[in-house]
Structure 1
Amino acid sequence: MKYILVLLALISLPAHAQTIPTSAVQMQLSFAPLVKKAVPAVVNIYARTIVQSSRTPLQSDPFFERFFQSPDAGRPRVQNSLGSGVILSEDGIVVSNYHVVGMATDIRIVLADRREFSARVMLSDADSDLAILKIDDVAGLPFLSLRDSDGVEVGELALAIGNPFGVGQTVSSGIVSGLARSGGMNGGGQGYFIQTDAPINPGNSGGALIDMQGDLIGINTSILTSSGGSNGIGFAIPANLVGAFMDQARSGATRFARPWAGLSGQAVDADMAAPLGLDRPGGIILSGLHPVSPFLAAGFRVGDVIIAVDGLDVHSPAEMIYRMSVAGLGKQAVITRLREGEQTDLVVRLIEAPEEPPRETVILGDEELLPGLELSRINPAVLSELNLSLEVEGVAVMDVGPFGMRVGLRPGDVILGVNGQDVQSPDQVRKAFRGQRQAELSVQRGGQRLSLRFRI
């Protein structure tokens, strides 16, 4: 009887008086009013990228180059990508995935009402798989409000809106099926993801995941499936991280800057919990601290356990960095520490990885061995950029140039010595290479130490 009365009440309302469903009974009748509100702010994105055809190291060698002559050698080619985006402000700020628009040279945005605009990338980040776009010289665009994604709960109803397979604007429904997920996504998986069972197909990337009030709770980024279809679990980047990207883009930043922790650690598992004074697994135990780490300055030491950031539990290093990124650079975060069974709150400054000492980048010239090789002194910023261990010292290979790969070097390698002599700066490598035709390098790559001998 209750269902019949609700249905009769809705039927009796004029079309313009229908409201967004707010009860479970109304949800069973229709999502249409909610979709009508949200769809105008979700856009289709067509991106074009001009890329250089790949060349092998031998093709770059002056001697072998003539053996690789072909009409398409080194010729630029065009890559087209299709995705979705969400308008975040009436003056034309749009968010999408990095893998949709991050390297694009031409971006077209098509609104639900079929209007088309050109857009440019304001800020992008491959690790988070997010990009902020701007449509210039517009006003009054429909947009979605960001919800505090820390308040999202498992079991909430959610709608995914996007342009799957390029067929046009499409809506699918599901629930929030998990939180704090990492792994299996595009990009480097920095932070954590909202998991949903709402289908997310190719072309849906960059689209909206909304709640039942029509607010944005996440940006759809990928689906984890064993069949290649939509019968898997989808992942969305939380709205709080989107908000942090939007703030940095508005401030003029062109790359997303994360706070630097300057520490290494691992998640506390079941075997470690009891000896550390925890009644269940959780938190991060510290195994290393850089000498200029803001955590060291705040009073942390190796063996401490980080259990919360700003009152919110953390269970992995990626989740901790996500929490710090949402808090924002230049701010402070309250970090809850467990030491010898006692919990203490410590205030940590959220800073970028310092450029101290200066990286002193050099690019070797034609008169030196391996011309074009780009080298930098290792400092916290270089450690963060190349994802190197905190204890690594020496000279980092930033770019191998046209000849470095031939002798076995890779970006991210650390040169420890040249011809048996330790090196601490790029200029020392330059001097050791000058006028030489051969060399022996001591190189650290990951956890391995290599010896590279070569003659040019």
Structure 2
Amino acid sequence: MSDLKNYIIVGVITGIILYYSGLDMFSNKIQIIEAKDIQKTSASSSYSSTVEKVNQSVVSIYTKKTYENNIFFIDPRERRLKRREAVPSGQGSGVVVSSNGYIITNFHVIQGSNEILVRDSNGNDHQTSVIGYDFLTDLAVIKINDNLKPITFGKIENVRVGDISLAIGNPLGVGQTITLGIVSATDKEISPEAYSYQRYVQTDAAINPGNSGGALVNSNGELIGINTMISTLGGGSDGIGFAIPVDIVKYVFTQIIENGEVIRGFVGIISNPNYRGDGVMISGVYNGGPGQKANMRRGDIIKKVNDKKVNKIKDMQDIIGKSKPGDLVSFQIQRNSDILNINVEVEKMPKL
């Protein structure tokens, strides 16, 4: 009897469940599950506020470069044979760095251009003038006659490996695009023979042709680098992108505004990148250069520069490069078993 009672109770409960759920189970109605309206998305899942902060500070750059080719035609008006000019176009990106129209970009974006057009985030076009450029860092400063919103500069010492990074620019000419990644390195050297100011922030944010000159920003919308190149096997983004660090960007921009160019110190010595001992070994001395005039020789080992111990070439380059022409730089040198102290008068680095 008790078993029968239990079966009756289970049957009643099952019937109630089927009654209330059966309408949906056996009908053709499709129910869409929608997300609830959220007033504010958490910073961990959206960077819309970051993009809103910086998108007006990143511009698209379009260039025209005229050159002669071997295509000839007869001009009926002039009745003579003429060479047809080719006018290829290019594009890149730029970053507004001051409210009075100064924009920084890569030098290779504008190099050799006859015409440079800047298009702001609102789609307005601006003619530009070139203020100056620095071949060694691949940076250039251009100017438009309008007031745009400048970006906020971050500090490179606050950038850490693993930080979020967003690349903003005009890849492949499709218009302003934002890609997300993380910082893989903050002081990357591409070549062991590179200058100390040829170092990069590495990111896996997608960087494609046209991104050059655009902004790499942190999650706060602060500039941490200028996107400049990628390492790739197929020509597209393979997740290895490089940006010129913000401290170098700031230094180059300031130098160009103040001097029209970047003035670096030069002592006329060549260092051996393969030397693994204590100090920096001199492998060559420029004929007639400041180093030769001060009696520096091939094979000398530099121990200190301006009383600072140096073991890396880039450490020495950084001190010399930021010296001004006419400054005296002191070197402590080991020559065989002797320790010598030599003062070298710095000259201006010649243009390459």
Specify if TM > 0.5.
yes
SS at match of 1:43: strand
Is the contact made by 1:128 and 1:189 (CA closer than 8 Å) also made in structure 2?
no
SS at match of 1:235: strand
1:40 aligns with 2:56: yes
The alignment of Structure 1 onto Structure 2 pairs a total of residues equal to 306
SS at match of 2:87: strand
Within a 5 Å distance, the mapping from 1:14-413 to structure 2 comes to: 27-53=43-69, 70-71=72-73, 74-136=83-145, 138-139=146-147, 141-183=148-190, 191-253=198-260, 255-268=261-274, 272-273=275-276, 276=277, 278=278, 284-290=280-286, 293-294=289-290, 302-305=299-302, 315-316=312-313, 320-321=316-317, 324-325=320-321, 327=322, 329-330=324-325, 339=334, 351-353=347-349, 381=350, 385=352
The structure-2 alpha-carbon separation of the partners of 1:311 and 1:89, relative to structure 1 and needing over 3 Å to count, comes to farther
What is the RMSD computed on CA atoms of the aligned residues?
A: 4.0
Is the contact made by 1:207 and 1:220 (CA closer than 8 Å) also made in structure 2?
yes
**In 1: Cα distance, 2:267 partner to 2:154 partner:** 27
SS at match of 1:247: helix
The structure-2 alpha-carbon separation of the partners of 1:292 and 1:219, relative to structure 1 and needing over 3 Å to count, comes to same
Deviation at 1:222? 1.0
Deviation at 1:200? 0.5
Is the contact made by 1:85 and 1:96 (CA closer than 8 Å) also made in structure 2?
yes
Instruction: Using CA pairs under 8 Å that are at least 6 residues apart, name the structure with larger relative contact order, 1 or 2.
Output: 2
Deviation at 1:178? 2.1
SS at match of 2:128: strand
SS at match of 1:75: strand
Deviation at 1:310? 9.7
Deviation at 1:76? 2.5
**In 2: Cα distance, 1:341 partner to 1:31 partner:** 60
Is the contact made by 1:244 and 1:328 (CA closer than 8 Å) also made in structure 2?
no
Deviation at 1:346? 8.7
SS at match of 2:50: helix
Deviation at 1:292? 5.7
More strand by share: 2
**In 2: Cα distance, 1:321 partner to 1:220 partner:** 24
**In 2: Cα distance, 1:225 partner to 1:250 partner:** 34
Deviation at 1:330? 4.8
Q: Give the AA of the match of 1:130.
A: L
Unaligned 5+ residue runs, structure 1? 1-7, 19-25, 55-68, 354-380, 386-456
SS at match of 1:29: coil
Unaligned 5+ residue runs, structure 2? 1-35, 74-80
Q: Give the AA of the match of 1:95.
A: I
The structure-2 alpha-carbon separation of the partners of 1:188 and 1:80, relative to structure 1 and needing over 3 Å to count, comes to farther
1:303-339: CA deviation from partner (whole Å, max 9, x where unpaired)? 224678997977446x7546654x3645969888674
The structure-2 alpha-carbon separation of the partners of 1:305 and 1:205, relative to structure 1 and needing over 3 Å to count, comes to same
Q: Give the AA of the match of 1:352.
A: K
Is the contact made by 2:94 and 2:104 (CA closer than 8 Å) also made in structure 1?
yes
> What percentage of residue pairs aligned between the two structures are identical?
30
